[in-house]
Chain A
Amino acid sequence: MERREAIQRKNGFWHVVKSLLSGLRLTWRHFLNADKRRQPVPVSDASYFKQPEGLVTLTYPYEAIPVPENGRYRLHNEIDDCIVCDLCAKVCPVNCITIESVKATEEIGMTSDGTKKRLYAPVFDIDMAKCCYCGLCTSVCPTDCLTMTPVYDFAEVDIKNMIYHFTDLSPEQAEEKKQLLAKQQEEMAAAKAAALAARKQG
């Protein structure tokens, strides 16, 4: 009963005209506010949720809403700090990290947190096309050399370019290091054999 009365009250000619006009007023107001633009402020800004007027379109390649400084998007490996422990490759759920290691003949140096480096990495590839941004690799990294950066726009035309190479060795250098290791191992094997022979004789 109450509902029927309400419908009848709102159905009169002038009510209809009024509601039609209020619809036009709404679109007209938005049309007039079209000279204003929503500002591309970061979510941390106080006005982020307080911009009810103006166009909301973000002309993306020309402007972008800043992402947080600690945004966790594209992976980056600081190879100077990497001890080539292979933990990241092991924990990766999608197997996007490929690492080959070569033992160094002597200590190569120190990472910035004081860990000794004993391995070269002739191959340290991350396939960003496979990466699922879970961040497990960054949490297992013992030297914090593998991090996620706020860079998110790195689309490529050729998918091969999505494989990022982080190694600091050229293929020739890598080959040289391998030969050095083989030579050292040969020498050690020879020394061992000599020592063994000497013991037998003695």
Chain B
Amino acid sequence: MLAFVLTLVLLLGIVIVLAYAERKVAAFMQDRMGPTEAGPYGSLQSVLDVVKLLQKEDIVSAAADKKLFKLAPILIFAAVFAGFAVIPFTPDLIPAGIGIGVFYLLAIISLDVVGLLMAGWGSNNKYAMLGAMRSVAQIVSYEIPAGLAILSVVIVCQSLDFQEISYQQGALMNRFPGLEFETNWLFGIEALGIDTTRIGGITTWNVFRAPVLLVAFVIYFIASLAESNRAPFDIPEAESELVAGFHVEYSGFRFAVLFLAEYSMMVLVSLVAVILFLGSWNTPLPNIGPLQLAYWTTGTVGGLSGMLWGGFWLLSKTFVLLFLQLQIRWTYPRLRVDQLMHLCWKVLTPIALAVVLLAGIWRLLMI
């Protein structure tokens, strides 16, 4: 219960910051100023937006399928929020440390699609229905390259446990029960004979210890943009062309929940990318001889310093990815629907399959 409340508070905080950052970053990239009036530099703008949304009338259209319409936002948010349960925030803080975290996450995120269809269908509005169908088609398609990219990480790490995957990517690897006698080799190639287990830092991040995962990371990142309906894959919402896609009929609190779910999805996919590819809560600084940078910037596991360092590294890496998502939104034009499907099925999926194969071979080199 405590983990639920803490995660929710943390998530709300991040989403508020992200919504503000989105407006400010967008403004700066277009040589505008963004919000300036509410609070210093407009920093209270997103808080005020939430307050405004909560004051709005909760409209349920007369012809809507009321049960589905009312349930959909809750289901969508619950599906995304449930994904946070298996995210390890620090070396010893994870809301639910289950052994099949990766599998659980992929499964629970897929529920999102049901919520989207419910929202689109329940609105009894053809635009909402079309938006929902586009959104579902896109998310279901892009789950395949994303899933394959994740699969290649699972092959390399031989684990479905997010915490175990996290421990493998740092100097603390041997502290994890079951990994006491494991060794990390430079680029994961044992034949090179360079032991990086105690060096840690960036040399043990998944993208570094099995460079083939760099390709997997790019595939996962592109697919994650599509899964969270972000530009350049935002045809379901396309605020400059369509009204809003599946949530066109929502107002007030229900809209706020959908909005929250959308931003939570962005945060979640970035967190997963960081955990699977970019070293999770591990520091990027390696130990170099007597300069024990990795240990200095990791703190003591189980203590407060370990918590703070872990949280700091995880969140700062996540914010870098989130910033990249924002920048991509304000840089690239939207893909047409046929281009979208072309990219998914004819480009990303074959490459992802090849990466899975290569990851399997790489795993053989690592032992």
Contacts and interface: CB of A to CB of B under 8 A. Distances in A.
A157 interface: no
Nearest to A22: B331
A31 B25 CA distance: 7
B327 A59 contact: no
Interface in B19-68: 25, 27-33, 36
Contacts of B181: none
Contacts of B36: 59
Contacts of A56: 31-32
Contact of A24 (B25, B32, B33, B331): B331
A28 B327 contact: yes
Contacts of A202: none
Nearest to B28: A34
B330 interface: yes
Contacts of B331: 23-24, 26-27
Nearest to A53: B31
**Interface size class for chain B?**
10 to 19
Contacts of A23: 331-332
Given A27-B327, A27-B331, A57 B29 contact: no
A78 B31 CA distance: 44
B33 A57 contact: yes
Interface in B325-351: 327-328, 330-332
B29 A27 contact: yes
A55 B31 CA distance: 4
A30 interface: yes
A161 to B, nearest CB: 26
A34 B33 CA distance: 8
A55 to B, nearest CB: 5
Contacts of A59: 33, 36
Contact of B32 (A20, A26, A28, A57): A57
B33 A20 contact: no
Interface in A24-45: 24, 26-28, 30-31, 33-34
Nearest to B29: A27
A20 B343 CA distance: 15
A54 B28 CA distance: 9
Contacts of B32: 55-57
B169 to A, nearest CB: 26
Nearest to B333: A23
A42 to B, nearest CB: 21
A23 B27 CA distance: 17
B43 to A, nearest CB: 15
A55 B29 CA distance: 9
Given A20-B332, A23-B332, A24-B331, A30 B30 contact: yes
B355 to A, nearest CB: 16
A70 B331 CA distance: 43
A57 B331 CA distance: 20
B262 to A, nearest CB: 22
A31 B327 CA distance: 9
A20 B218 CA distance: 14
B29 A30 contact: yes
Interface in B275-315: none
B28 A55 contact: yes
Nearest to B25: A31
Contacts of A54: 31
B181 to A, nearest CB: 41
B328 to A, nearest CB: 8
A170 to B, nearest CB: 43
Contacts of A28: 327
Given A24-B327, A57-B33, A59-B33, A30 B28 contact: yes
Contact of A31 (B29, B33, B332): B29
Nearest to B36: A59
Nearest to A58: B33
B37 to A, nearest CB: 9
Contacts of B28: 30-31, 34, 55
Nearest to A56: B31
Chain B CB within 10 A, most for which of A24, A31, A57: A31
Interface of B: 25, 27-33, 36, 327-328, 330-332
Q: Which 3 A-B pairs have the closest CB atoms?
A: A34-B28, A57-B33, A27-B29
30 contacts: A23-B331, A23-B332, A24-B327, A24-B328, A26-B331, A27-B29, A27-B327, A27-B331, A28-B327, A30-B28, A30-B29, A30-B30, A30-B31, A31-B25, A31-B29, A31-B327, A33-B31, A34-B28, A34-B31, A55-B28, A55-B31, A55-B32, A55-B33, A56-B31, A56-B32, A57-B31, A57-B32, A57-B33, A59-B33, A59-B36
